Amino acid sequence: MSLETVTTLPWVEKYRPKTLNDVVNQEEVITSLKNILKTKAVPHMLFAGPPGVGKTATAHAFARDLYGPNYIEDGWFVEINASDERGIQTIRDKVKMFARQIPMGGEVGFKILLLDESDQLTDDAQHAFRRVMEQYSSTCRFILAANYSNRIIEPIQSRCAVFRFRPLLKKDIIGRIKWIAEQEKLEVDDAALETIYEFCEGDMRRAINTLQAAASISRKIDEKTVYYILGYVSRGEIRKILELAMSGNFIQARDELRKLIYVQGLAGSDIVSAIYRELFYLDLSEEDKLELIDLLGEVDYRMAEGGTEEVQLMAFLARLAAKSKKVNVGR
Amino acid sequence: MPQLWTEKYRPKKVAEVVGNQDSVKAFLEWMKSWEIGNPAKKAALLYGPAGVGKTSLVLAYGREYGYDVVEVNASDWRNEEKMKAVVGESSQYASLDGYSKKIILVDEVDGIAGREDAGGISALRKIINETRVPIVMVANNPWDQKLAPIREQSVMIEFKRLSKTAITKRLKEICEREGIKVPDDVLSKLAERSEGDLRSAIMDLQAVAAGKNTLTEKDLEVLGERNRVKEIFEALRYIFYAKSIRGARAAIEGLELEPQAIYTWILDNAPTQITEPDELAQAFDLLARADIYFARIEKLQMWRLMKYAIPMMTGGVAVARRTPPKGFQKFTFPHKIRLFQQYKNEREIRQSIAWKIASKLHLSSYKAGKEMLPYIGFIISRSDKSKPRIVEYFEFTDEEVGYLKKIYGGVEEKKEEIKEVKVKKPVKHSRGKS
């Protein structure tokens, strides 16, 4: 039933832009980067923009265009994810290891280090990193990728050329999905495309993943298939928790919530965002929804203030349960 | 059968009572008011955790000052009738020989707080009003609402857990008297595990040291964990069923647990004890407030904020719970502790999968787990092949594939079934964020 190619590679990898020409909807950025390529005078760069718009892919494509297809194997390019290695010491050690030597040959006299999710670094780590940037700039140039440039301290921003990546437009996402569908010989109808777009929130990665998951059950993809995937994979767990709470199974809802937090390791802020998305579709009066949105905002703020995620979220679920009980009685 | 050391070394004089010197002093003053004939309150309620010398003080006092101690405990009488017969009679007459003086010791008075013997409490109250001899009551937790009338009639004397030093010192004296050589650090270990309960420390000492000349740390290994869980269960009962914030707050005072640890117990027992959704929502509102206070205490090291957190978490659930539960709901261990043990393996497998995805797809392991893992799990589960190439691509182990199939495999759906999946079509709304 499933196509061979569906289970070979993740499509986000397969269809990752290989060269700067493949990057979608970032014309200004791409033009500037191409100019830099001509002169080979590469500054430190900060790529800022929402998730899934191609920051990491652009960094890779840039390096490939600069050093050739073996840019990683030949040791010119390395990527560190700041959210996995928050300690500045690990980063420094890695940077030193990487920047100490320049590979033989090649016309470019420096390497490139991509520091992904660099807005995850603490202020202290950023200040330390700033010195690292100066110390090693003769042998190594840095590309910092971040969702929010305002979380990057000014001294770092001032040492970087800042490139703003635009959110992807509807036509970009639908166009790309259509194109991939053609390559994979899928039949995707318009309603399905609309639905994929509606729920991916501008994140190309999410859109491609949804398409691939849908293709794993059928090569003809309609709206229902997409909803099935969304219900099953992307939104399934949160929706299940909300439904449990609303049907009076608070304890089960709590247990599922805890699994999300402690087994899957999901951050409270991500759970809040997911609940937020679902809230509008719940079977509640509009007044109750507003009240719950307000409460969810309070939960969000309290978690930032240091409140325990599970406790604050449980308080939300308990309130949701109380609201839906009223609805049931009222009918 | 040799004598129990807890009996053998019970204090013979008031001065031998270990620790709680303020409480001892308060008791002596109250007895003195009886001696001179005008006690302001005719009863005293000695309360505090087990094994800290409440009963011992009364017995030592009686012995030293020539009182007969007439002892009754909760197992002796439960109802009004018995109460009158045993305690009432006794409180009206001097001792049998007509010479020595008398104290009535009512042990485990919190044990008669149950619904079925409410008559016992009102009888006791009457007896206190009319008594001609001192009545001393002992309780672990005196804050039950049922005991309120008795509390008003009594001098309240609190006993606290004993310090490690005090217990060590007492154990040392006993060892000397028994002719056993024990290094100080071993005694100190014994004292520590007793958690302020001298009686249990002496019990432990006798268990490991009786018949020996010396004692080493290794000898302590035979001792099991003494179960203090009972105390927290009891405290939870007081918290959830308290009639006032003050009562609920007082229930945790005797516990040697950090408020944050008690909080976990309250949090996880709330949904079973409070069944009305509105009341549960209110309870959780207050628990969430307490949580914020904990966060502020932590962040600002502002320990005085604790006094706001505690009424929120104790009084909060007591005030919110208005509807009585349907039948008896037992209190349980925090679910979270079980969850951690239960899912440790699953968590590790999931993390390992996330790392493998992260290294291939230029993502952090967090994003890999959140954004990619479910899709990959879904795709692998739907493959006709037993080992699709994507598995090789990520270098997943069989165990990891098994996990993904278990979680994301679900039912084997067919196209027809897909059509029946109920998914509400969302109302179109514009995306507010970038």
| pLDDT score recorded for residue B193 | 81
Residue B168 lies in a domain: yes
Task: Give chain A positions within 8 Å (CB) of B415.
Answer: 217-218
Q: B393 and A50 in contact by Cβ < 8 A? A: no
CA dist., res. B52 & res. B162, Å (int)? 6
Q: What does the domain layout of chain A look like in residue ranges?
A: 26-164, 169-234, 236-322
The answer for A 262-281 residues in CB contact with B (under 8 A) is 262-267, 270, 280-281
The answer to whether residues B90 and B77 touch, using CB atoms and an 8 Å cutoff, is: no
Q: A81 and B284 in contact by Cβ < 8 A? A: no
The residues, any chain, with a CB within 8 Å of residue B434's CB and separated by 6 or more, are A50, A167, A202
| pLDDT score recorded for residue B168 | 94
CA dist., res. A281 & res. A278, Å (int)? 6
Q: What is the CATH number of the domain that holds B174?
A: 1.10.8.60
CA dist., res. B307 & res. B34, Å (int)? 37
Q: In terms of CA atoms, which chain A residue is nearest residue B390?
A: A8
Residue B64 lies in a domain: yes
B280 plus B378 within the same structural domain: no
Whether this prediction's pTM lies above 0.80 is answered by no
Any CB–CB contact under 8 A between B350 and chain A? yes
pLDDT digits (tens, 9 = 90+) for B187-202: 998 898 888 889 888 8
Out of B304, B334, B364, a domain closes at B334
Residue B424 lies in a domain: no
What architecture is the A169-234 domain classified under in CATH? Orthogonal Bundle (1.10)
Residue ranges in chain B modelled with pLDDT below 50: 1, 115, 227, 412-434
B204 plus B236 within the same structural domain: no
Mode of pairing for the β-strands spanning B101-106 and B67-72 = parallel
Choose the closest CB to B346 out of A202, A231, A263.
A263
Q: For chain A, what's the residue count?
A: 331
**Which residue's entry shows tokens 């967090």?**
B366
Print burial letters for A214-235: b (CB count within 10 Å at least 16), e (below 16). Answer: bbbbbbebbbbbbbbbbbbbbb
B147 plus B211 within the same structural domain: no
- Identify the CATH number of the domain defined by range A26-164: 3.40.50.300
| pLDDT score recorded for residue B5 | 84
Residue B391 lies in a domain: yes
Residue B426 lies in a domain: no
Any CB–CB contact under 8 A between B326 and chain A? no
- What is the domain extent for residue B360? 343-419
Q: What share of chain A is helix, strand, coil (3-state, %, to 5)?
A: 60, 10, 30
| Secondary structure (3-state) at B431 | coil
| pLDDT score recorded for residue B112 | 67
State which CATH number among 1.10.275.10, 3.90.550.10, 1.20.272.10, 3.30.300.180 fits the domain covering A236-322.
Answer: 1.20.272.10
Out of B158, B174, B206, a domain closes at B158
Choose the closest CB to B378 out of A8, A216, A270.
A216
Beta bridge partners of A81: A116
ipTM of the prediction greater than 0.90, yes or no: no
| pLDDT score recorded for residue A254 | 94
B324 plus B249 within the same structural domain: yes
Any CB–CB contact under 8 A between A41 and chain B? no
B254 plus B270 within the same structural domain: yes
Q: In terms of CA atoms, which chain B residue is nearest residue A317?
A: B281
Task: Count the domains in chain B.
Answer: 4
B73 plus B147 within the same structural domain: yes
Task: Give chain B positions within 8 Å (CB) of A234.
Answer: 374
B391 plus B414 within the same structural domain: yes
Q: In terms of CA atoms, which chain A residue is nearest residue B420?
A: A224
pLDDT average per 10 residues of sequence, chain A (331 residues) = 67 89 86 87 90 90 91 88 76 79 76 90 82 82 89 86 89 93 92 90 90 90 87 77 92 92 88 90 91 96 93 96 68 36
Task: Give chain B positions within 8 Å (CB) of A261.
Answer: none
Between chain A and chain B, the number of residue pairs with CB atoms below 8 A apart is 206
B288 plus B179 within the same structural domain: no
Task: Give chain A positions within 8 Å (CB) of B287.
Answer: 311, 314-315
CA dist., res. B295 & res. B302, Å (int)? 10
Q: What is the CATH number of the domain that holds B13?
A: 3.40.50.300
B21 plus B132 within the same structural domain: yes
Out of B158, B177, B194, a domain closes at B158
CA dist., res. B420 & res. B422, Å (int)? 6
Q: In terms of CA atoms, which chain B residue is nearest residue A221?
A: B415
Instruction: Mutation target for B interface from A14, A211, A314: give the one with most B CBs within 10 A.
Output: A314
B259 plus B318 within the same structural domain: yes
Task: Give chain B positions within 8 Å (CB) of A83.
Answer: 364-367
| pLDDT score recorded for residue B174 | 92
B351 plus B207 within the same structural domain: no
Task: Give chain B positions within 8 Å (CB) of A318.
Answer: 277, 280-281, 283-285
Residue B406 lies in a domain: yes
Choose the closest CB to A233 out of B272, B374, B427.
B374
Any CB–CB contact under 8 A between A73 and chain B? no
Any CB–CB contact under 8 A between A58 and chain B? no
B127 plus B249 within the same structural domain: no
